[in-house]
Amino acid sequence: EVWILRRFRDNTLSKTWYGKAFISTYYAISPILVKCFGDTDLFKRFWKAIIDRMIIKLKNKGVDDAPI
């Protein structure tokens, strides 16, 4: 799953200005969110559901999940 997300970041998001902005924002904000809410079950379930759906969509589009 991590490889799929990395490939999506590197091969798709990083190619556009709005993708680069999302990546920068994600890396700035996510550590704070995880520090504040990361131990809560609601937070974990919410984000796991979103990420799981995203991974399924990316796999269906042919994004490779094998290690580089």
Q: What angle do CA 4, 44, 8 make, to 5 degrees?
A: 15
- Neighbouring CB atoms inside 10 A of 10's CB total 12
Query: pLDDT confidence of 15, banded at 50, 70, 90?
Result: very high
Q: What is the pTM of this model?
A: 0.80
Query: pLDDT confidence of 19, banded at 50, 70, 90?
Result: very high
Residues in contact with 58: Cβ distance below 8 Å, sequence separation at least 6, in sequence order: 4, 5, 7, 8
pLDDT digits (tens, 9 = 90+) for 22-59: 999 999 999 999 999 989 999 999 999 999 999 999 99
